[in-house]
Amino acid sequence: MGATPLALAGCDGPLSTVDPAGPAARTIATLWWVMLVGAVLIFGLVAGLLAAAFRRGRQTRDDRWHERVWIVGLGLGFSMAILAALLASGLMAGERLMPRPAADTVGVRAEARRWSWSFGYDAAPGRVTEDVLHIPAGRPVDVAITSADVVHSFWVPRLAGKLDAIPGHVNVLRIEADHPGTYGGLTAEYNGEGYARHRFVVVAHDAAGWQAFLRGETE
């Protein structure tokens, strides 16, 4: 457990889930930290009870009564309370991640195939980009995700969670980037030999850059 902070210190980069760059990713990262803390608390209690059991000598009747208090009150009660809190946190996080109507929402389409992604734009009919998704920074973007062949998965770790791309079905994922920049995306569903190369990037533009893209002035 002592190595955990050191390991987490290196968890940044284009595909980091604990280096969020948008509101949805921050919600997911916060939930991850909450679950880590809960897991550490439960592990610490169980380890402490186990150590105490090995250190005890001959038992008396009072000792057995105190053990029941520890096992039921802490071993079960404490653990169940932590798990209930984690469940509540997960449900609240899931509620916050639901795409809700917003006046400035941008709509885009993502179609996966082996081994590329095609992206279309509601604000620029007929415009299609391959393996590069363009979005405006600071605005919610609803990505309508589907697949042309097998099941894939759309995932931009620094912007949002992942969602499956299913043939004949459309799933909608809301993403948002805090600032202009380039964010790595990948397919998080094994689907054959080209799986490891099935990646894409998301380019978040400032307001002027987004308008220039819609006018076809940038690729």
pLDDT at 62: 58
What does the pLDDT look like over 169-191, one tens digit per residue?
999 999 999 999 999 999 988 88
CATH of domain 106-214: 2.60.40.420
pLDDT at 195: 81
pLDDT at 2: 44
Model confidence at 27: pLDDT above 90: no
Share of the chain above pLDDT 70, in %: 82
pLDDT at 135: 96
Strands 141-147, 106-113: pairing is: parallel
- How many Cβ atoms are within 10 Å of 216's Cβ, its own excluded? 10
d(CA 15, CA 91): 25
Where are the chain's structural domains?
A: 4-97, 106-214
CA 4 to each of CA 33, 41, 177: distance values in angstroms, whole numbers, following the listed order? 12, 14, 28
Model confidence at 61: pLDDT above 50: yes
pLDDT band at residue 140 using 50, 70 and 90 as cut-offs: very high
pTM of full prediction above 0.85: no
In which residue are the tokens 């099941």 written?
151
d(CA 156, CA 160): 6
Model confidence at 6: pLDDT above 90: no
CA 169 to each of CA 112, 118, 133, 164, 189: distance values in angstroms, whole numbers, following the listed order? 12, 16, 20, 10, 16
Q: Quick one: residue 88, left, alpha or beta (phi over 0 = left, psi -120 to 50 = alpha)?
A: alpha
On the CB side of 49, CA atoms within 13 Å amount to 18
CA 42 to each of CA 72, 86, 122, 153, 169: distance values in angstroms, whole numbers, following the listed order? 14, 12, 48, 33, 40
